[in-house]
Amino acid sequence: MRTDLPLALLGSDEGQRADAILRSCVHCGFCNATCPTYLIEGDELDGPRGRIYLIKEMLETGIADTVTRTHLDRCLTCRACETTCPSGVKYGELLELGRETLENAPVRGLRDRLVRWGLRRIVPYPRRFGPLVALGRAVRGLLPRRLRTAVPPRFLTQPVTNPAPAPGPRAAGRVLLLEGCVQRVATPGVNDALRALLGARGVDVVTVRDEGCCGGLALHLGARADAEATMSRLLDALAPHLDGIDAILSTASGCGVTIKDYGRLLAHDSARAPLARRVAALTRDVAEYLGALSGDWARDPTLKRVAWHPPCTLQHGQRVTGVVERLLRQAGYELVPVVDAHLCCGSAGTYSLLEAARAERLGSAKRSALLAGAPDVIATANIGCQLHLSAAEPAAGPGNHQRVAVRHWIELLR
Ligand code: SF4
Ligand code: SF4
């Protein structure tokens, strides 16, 4: 793709990077075939190729308008287009720059800006988000439907009955577990389940008090400065605990994909860059770590058939594929076939709140696809997908109305 970015922009690292990404796109349009928003809207501007043109135009002219805002807001950041693209276009990175440019332009009304500010100020902070969730649960019946479905129900997680053995000299490994900000509030049993699994294998688990958010939420909202401040706080919290650690584990793939990218995201910050690279290099999705441990797992004897939903942040963002499936099969589960497993469920961070109608449509289609094989349980690897799919109403069809729980796959291993 030919570009004509202003010299002032090309003088910056970001401008150079945007130019290189734009030039790598040969506008073949293959990516449209796997873009969930293109598939439901049928509009070129709601596909990756169209959005790449919109970002290019915005960067070239310096003008951000409501058309660009609308179509970039509708992007899920699922990065299915990156997996599909034969030219290796780094769409997610380009979108980051596009969204940051948009957020610095006067293209949003006051209400929109307030909602986005509120999300950044509440969701990543368990001490603010936790009481709100508790209140939401108490008055769920009085809430409008859109808010009611956003409140995490209690049954998404189960108390762990076999707590991890105390750390000791027999340790076969030592990991730092990131407890996550939303997950810690909504499904605390997931991290407890992991502690129990790792403890049984002799792996010590350490956690960090007040670890905070990874910065992913602010980054997706185009609030770069806010995101970097949040990342820096997490780095400061992790720094004293890194010596002797084999890996930093994340059970929420949405957090893992951001932290693995810290080296790039903070490369311009000479004071933080070395620590950012170290943390990124140590970070593993829990599937990667468990997949490398020897021995077998057992299944929950009350469940057999599993419909697996790989979050976009795991399959497209981290490119971790096939590992959870292997572990679940080893444990004795039968994985039912699921069509269009590459498509996003519509959760996509704050997308399910900010683009609720599209998110509901995608969630409904995904839940139907997951239920088609008559599973006992739906399993996934990210708190956002778990909440969204739990609230989704499947499209009408045989067997689709059964209430099948959506669980984190870690909770299915014994
Ligand atoms: S598939 Fe890749 S090269 Fe082709 S239009 Fe999409 S982003 Fe551009
Ligand atoms: S990130 Fe997802 S929604 Fe956005 S353009 Fe790519 S495939 Fe489409």
pLDDT given for residue 128 in this prediction: 76
Ligand 1, atom 4, residue with closest C-alpha: 28
pLDDT tens column, 189-242:
899 999 999 998 899 999 998 788 999 999 999 999 999 999 999 999 999 999
| Residue among 39, 71, 75 to mutate when testing ligand 2 (max atoms within 8 A of CB) | 75
Q: What is the mean pLDDT of residues 115-133?
A: 79
CATH 3.40.50 fits 295-412, yes or no: yes
Instruction: Provide CB contacts within 8 A for 42, sequence distance 6+.
Output: none
Q: Spell out the domain ranges in the chain.
A: 7-103, 155-291, 295-412
Q: Which residue's structure tokens are 């509708």?
A: 74
Is 155-291 a domain of CATH 3.40.50?
Answer: yes
Q: Right CATH number for 7-103 from 1.10.630.10, 3.40.1160.10, 2.40.110.10, 1.10.1060.10? A: 1.10.1060.10
User: pLDDT-based confidence at 136, cuts 50/70/90?
Assistant: confident
Helix, strand, or coil here: 136? Answer: helix
Which pLDDT score, from 0 to 100, does residue 149 have? Answer: 67
pLDDT reported for residue 44: 97
Which-ligand-closest: CA of 31? 1
Which ligand 2 atom is the nearest neighbour of the CA of 37? 3
Cβ contact 297:330 at 8 Å: yes
Using one digit for the tens of pLDDT, what is the confidence trace for 254-263? 999 999 999 9
Top mean-pLDDT range of 41-55, 206-220, 288-302: 41-55
Inform me whether the pLDDT recorded for 272 exceeds 80: yes
Question: How close is the Cα of 359 to the center of ligand 1, in Å?
Answer: 24
Residue 292: its pLDDT value, please? 92
Look at residue 150 and tell me whether its pLDDT is greater than 70: no
Collect all residues with Cβ–Cβ distance below 8 Å to 392 and sequence separation of at least 6. 345, 346, 360, 363, 364, 366, 367
Residue 132 pLDDT grade (very low, low, confident, very high; cuts 50, 70, 90): confident
Residue 91 Cα to ligand 2 middle (Å): 8
Enter the pTM of the model.
Answer: 0.91
The amino acid that residue 332 corresponds to is G
Alpha-carbon torsion 236, 263, 229, 128, what sign?
negative
Q: What is the dihedral of CA 214, 220, 224, 228, to 10 degrees?
A: 10
**Identical fold between 155-291 and 295-412:** yes
List C-alpha distances in Å: 304 to 160, 333, 355, 385, 400.
20, 5, 35, 21, 18
